Chain A
Amino acid sequence: MYKILKKEKLNEAVELMVVHAPFVARSCQPGQFIILRADEKGERIPLTIADYDREKETVTIIYQIVGYSTQLLSSKQEGDTIPDFVGPLGKPSDLKKHKRVLGIGGGVGAAPLYPQIRKLHEMGVAVDVILGGRSKEFIILDKEFEAICDKVYYATDDGTKGKKGFVTDVLNELLNEGKEYDEIIAIGPLVMMKAVVGITKPKNIKTAVSLNPIMIDGTGMCGGCRVTVGGETKFACVDGPDFDGLLVDFDECMRRQGMYKEEEHSCRIGLGGK
C-alpha cells in the first residue's frame, strides 16, 4: 500500500499528490512514469513522475481528471492509500548538454515537462518554455518554471494569460524572430505535439515528444502501447515514452488512443456519476 502524504488542487481539473513509494523514489529519473491502480479492481493507469524526493522516499504525480480512473484517484484524500503503484517505468529522457532548449507544455503536459526542464537547468542548459492552456486557470507550474527558465511564454485560448491562441502561435513567432534552439521538447495532447512537429519538421529542428498511448502492464508484455516511429513498431512503455517527434506517426497514435472511447464513456456515466 502506498500512502498519500499530500494532496493539492492545482485547478478545477488538475490535482497533485505526493505518494510514499520507496521503490520508485530510489532510482527514478526525469521522463519516467508510474502505473497505479486506484482501488483493488482498478484499471492500471500511467502517470508521469513530476517530482521525487529520494530521502523522503516520495514521488509526486500531477493528474487531470478526465474519466473514471482519474476521478476515482481524485476521491482519495491525504492519509489514504493507493493499493498499487509501480515504477519507475520507461526510459529516462535523453537530456543533452545543449546550449539552449525550448520546452513546450500543453495543459497538464507541463507536469511531465517540468522535471526534464529542471534537470536541463541543473546541467547548465539555458531554457525557455511556452505553457499553454484553455485559460489562465489551466496553466500549472508557472511559478516553478519561472524560477528556472530564462523566459516563460504563455498562450491561452481566451487570452486570459499571455497570447490569445495556441502554443504553436508563440513558437512560430519565436522562430520568426530568429530565436535558435538546439532542441525542442514538446509535451501535451497529441494534437499539440503534432502541430509543433508540423512547424519544426520542415525546419529540421530536433524535437522530442512524450507519447501517451493506452497502456496496461507498462513492462513490454502486452504490446498494447505500440506506436510507429520511423516506420518501426515501438512499445512506448519500454522504448519510450520519449521519441524523436520528427519520426512519429501521430495520426496512428491519435486513432489508437481513441480505441475505447465508447467504453470509457459508458464507464463514466455508469460509475463515475456518483
Chain B
Amino acid sequence: MPNMSLKKVTMPEQDPNVRNKNFNEVALGYTKEQAMEEATRCLNCKHKPCVSGCPVNVPIPEFIKEVAAGNFEKAYELITSENNLPAICGRVCPQENQCEGVCVRGIKGEPVGIGRLERFVADYHMQHAEKKSVQITKNGIKIAVVGGGPAGLTCAGDLAKLGYDVTIFEALHALGGVLMYGIPEFRLPKALVEKEIETIVDLGVKINKNVVVGRSITIDELFEEGYKAVFVGSGAGLPKFMGIEGESLNGVYAANEFLTRVNLMKAYDFPNNPTPVKVGKKVAVIGGGNVAMDAARTAKRLGAEEVYIIYRRGEEELPARKEEIHHAKEEGIIFKLLANPKKIHGENGWVKAIECVEMALGEPDESGRRRPVEVEGSNFIMDMDTVIIAIGQSPNPLIRQTTPGLDTHKWGGIIVEEETMHTSKQNVYAGGDVVTGAATVILAMGAGKKAAKAIHEKIQSTMNA
C-alpha cells in the first residue's frame, strides 16, 4: 500500500536568518529514512508520465522502487544509465515544470519529490561507493568537444563510454560552465560539481583547459588535427545590458561578472582568495530569472542590508524557479515588481541611486504573458550603492565569427537539425545554450546526449559504407 500523504517528506534546510549570512548549502538533503519514506509515495505508474517529463528520460519509477527498498546503489545505476550528473540535476532541475510537473501524485497534493530522491541517491553514492575503474575498449577515433558545461560534459561522457577518444577544450581554468561560475555555492556546492565531473573524466575524457576555441585553435584546425567530429557546447555567456544612462558607473555589474567573481574566483573568501568584489549596503538586482535570484541572494550573503529585485512584470510572470523565489523571500530579498529602470544616477563616478518607472500589465504579447506598459509620470528614485544587471545572456560571437560555414540565427544561436544536433557545417554538432539561448542544465545535457548518439551513428555508417 503506497504512502498516501499529500505532502512530500520535508527536506531539512538551514534557517533563513542563518543561511543568508553564509555560503553553505541551503537545503540539507534527505536522510536514508526520509528518502525511503518519500519513495513509498510513488505509485509506480504503468504509463510513466514522469519519465516523459524528463528531458533525459531517467527511469524514474524504477529507481524510486529501489530507493524504497533501500537498494541505493542499484538506484544510482538506474539513474546514471541516462543521466551523468544526478547530484547536480537533483538540485537545480526545474522539476516543477518537468518530471514532477506531470507526476500523477501532483494532481491531488504534492508530486513525488523526484529531484530530492535523485539528489539523495547521488549523494549517497558519492559518500559510500568505492571508485570502480571502468573498462572501455577504445576505438581510437578522435572527437573534440568545445566547452565543458553540462552540454559538452554529457556529450563527452556518452562518447567516451562508446570508446571514442574525446577531448574537451575549455576556455576557463575550470570545467563545469555555468555550474562553476554562475550557480552559487549555496545552491550547488562546487566540490560536488567537481566530484561529479570527475566521474566523467574517469571515463578517459581528455581535458584541455585554458583553450579558447576560435582563438587558440579554430574548428577547421581541429579537423586538420584529425578530429572526426566537433561538438560545440559553448553556452550563452554574453551578458546583455539595458542601454540606459549610468550603466558604466563604478558599482554596476553584469550578473555574470558578479557571480563569476564570487563563485569561480571565491571572492566571498577575500583576501584568502585574492579576487575582490564590491557590495554596498543597498543593492538592486534587475531581472526576475534564476540568475537574478542567485545574484540577489549572493549580495545578501556578502553583507548587503537591503537587496531589491527589480522586475518589470508581476509576480506571476517571474521566470525563476518557484523554489528559488520562495527561498529568496525567506532570506529577506525585497521584490519591487512592475518597475522598470530608466537611469542609474551617479556621484563621483559611483552608483548613487536608481530611477525606475512603474509598469502596468496590458494585453498579452507574443509570449502569451501580459505586456508591461509604462505608467506615465510615475518615475521614482531609490538610493543604491550597487546595481546588478541580470536581464539575460546570448551566445558568445567568437565561434561563429571564426568558423566559416556555421549558420546562426540573427540573435546568435547556432542553427541545428533537431533530430541530430548537426549544424550547417559538415561534422560539426552543437547543443545547449549556444543553440537554444539561455535555458536549463537538463536541456543542455539532453542536447549533448542526442548529439553523441548522432555522432556515433554517423561514424558507424561511414565506417560500414
Contacts and interface: CB of A to CB of B under 8 A. Distances in A.
Interface of A: 23-24, 26-27, 32, 37, 41-44, 68-69, 83-89, 216-217, 219-224, 226, 228, 233, 238, 252, 255-256, 258-260, 263-264, 266-267, 270-271
A221 B211 contact: no
A252 B252 CA distance: 13
Given A220-B237, A221-B260, A23 B248 contact: no
Nearest to A219: B171
Contact of A86 (B210, B251, B265, B266): B210
B276 interface: yes
Contacts of A256: 248, 250
Given A41-B274, A86-B210, A217-B171, 4 more contacts: A24-B216, A86-B171, A88-B216, A223-B253
Nearest to B273: A41
Given A27-B216, A44-B265, A223 B241 contact: yes
A223 to B, nearest CB: 4
A42 B266 CA distance: 10
Nearest to B212: A219
B343 to A, nearest CB: 16
A259 B248 contact: no
A226 B248 CA distance: 8
B456 to A, nearest CB: 28
Contacts of A37: 173
Given A41-B274, A84-B173, A221 B256 contact: yes
- Per CB-CB distance, the 10 closest pairs between chain A and chain B, nearest first, are A263-B276, A223-B254, A86-B210, A222-B257, A221-B237, A84-B173, A23-B216, A255-B349, A224-B257, A223-B239
Given A220-B396, A259-B278, A271-B271, A88 B265 contact: no
B171 A223 contact: no
Contact of B248 (A222, A233, A266): A233
B171 A271 contact: no
24 contacts: A23-B211, A23-B217, A26-B217, A27-B215, A41-B266, A42-B274, A83-B173, A216-B261, A217-B260, A219-B212, A219-B396, A219-B398, A221-B239, A221-B396, A223-B239, A223-B253, A223-B254, A224-B253, A228-B248, A233-B247, A256-B250, A263-B276, A267-B271, A271-B274
B272 interface: yes
Contacts, number: 118
Interface residues of B, number: 40
Contacts of A238: 397-398
A85 B271 contact: no
A43 B239 contact: no
Interface in B232-247: 237-239, 241, 247
Interface string B168-182: 000111000000010
A83 B172 CA distance: 12
A238 B216 CA distance: 14
Nearest to B239: A223
B270 interface: yes
Contacts of A222: 239, 254, 256-257, 260
Contacts of B371: none
B248 A27 contact: no
A69 B274 contact: yes
A98 to B, nearest CB: 26
Contacts of B257: 216, 222-224
B209 interface: yes
A173 B294 CA distance: 56
Contacts of B3: none
Nearest to A255: B349
B275 interface: yes
Given A41-B272, A238-B398, A260-B278, A219 B237 contact: yes
A259 B261 CA distance: 14
